[in-house]
Each structure stands twice: as C-alpha cells, then as structure tokens.
Amino acid sequence: MQDSTNSVTATDWLDTIRWNDDGLVPAIAQDADTGDILMMAWMNRESLELTAREQQAIYWSRSRGKLWRKGESSGHEQRVREIRLDCDEDVILLKVEQRGGIACHTGRRSCFYRVLEDGQWVATDPVLKDSDSIYGTGGHSHE
C-alpha cells in the first residue's frame, strides 16, 4: 500500500484519462521484449490504479463485471514494465513480461492469432498449451 502522499499523486494521473461512458478505457498489452501485441482488454479507474501500484496487469472484466487479475486462474500473469498513454488520453498501452509466454485463453501466445487471407480468417499461430491443461477440464475457457 502507498502512503497518503503517493495516493494524492495517483489521483492526478488518473484524472488525465478520458474514460468512456461506462468508465472504462481500452488497454493494449504488448510483450516488452518481442514487441508482439498480446491482447486488448478494458480497465476501469480502480484496475488501472492497482495495475500501476502492483506492476501487474489487472483489467476490468466486462462480462463478469469485476476486477480481473490477469493470470488469476491460468497462472499467465503479466508483469508490467511500462504504462503509456496515447495523445487523445483514451487508450492505455502496457509493456509487459508475459508469464508462461501465453496470453490467450486458447493457449496461444497472442489473442491475435487469426489473419485475413482471401476473405477468410485463418488461424496461423500455434496452440502452445491446450485449454484443459491451463484451466482444468471443468474450468472456464476465459479467466
């Protein structure tokens, strides 16, 4: 936990962000070493503040309506090395170290594993670990 002085500072940088009508902002996770784009998810104010404080990616799950600590069930945590903001102040970029080398719930390195080829989406990137081994056979496919 931070002391009160740091908490005041934290509020300032969070106020810069232009949250959407749902109080959210898109956050892109990029592999800090390879430059690969791993995923895009959403953050609310609390999740971004926690992400900065803990230096671990913590998103807001829109489907479940709660904080989503990336890796909480998969073990595929994202250690945050850098947090960036775009010129319009409405998109966040995280440079992360991806634990296990897998960001996607399908067991692939990146969620962007499909490429448009001749009018069709083609899955080009390999599954590194099957979903059952990540979440267990009775588990959910998304964290």
**HSE, side-chain direction, 13 A CA sphere, residue 115:** 5
Size of the site for a second copy (CB under 8 A): 39
In the list 3, 4, 65, 88, the residue contacting a second copy (rule: CB under 8 A) is 88
Does 128 engage in binding with a second copy (CB under 8 A)?
no
39 binds a second copy (CB under 8 A): yes
The answer to whether 127 contacts a second copy (rule: CB under 8 A) is no
Q: Are strands 92-98 and 24-31 parallel, antiparallel or unpaired?
A: parallel
Least Å distance, CB 19 to a second copy, is 15
Phi, psi of 87, rounded to the nearest 5 degrees: -65, -30
Phi, psi of 138 (to 5 degrees): -90, 0
Pick from 30, 61, 64: which is nearest to 46 by CA? 61
List residues near a second copy by CB under 8 A.
6, 9-10, 12-13, 16, 26, 28, 30, 34-37, 39-40, 52, 82-88, 91, 93, 104-106, 108, 111-116, 118-121
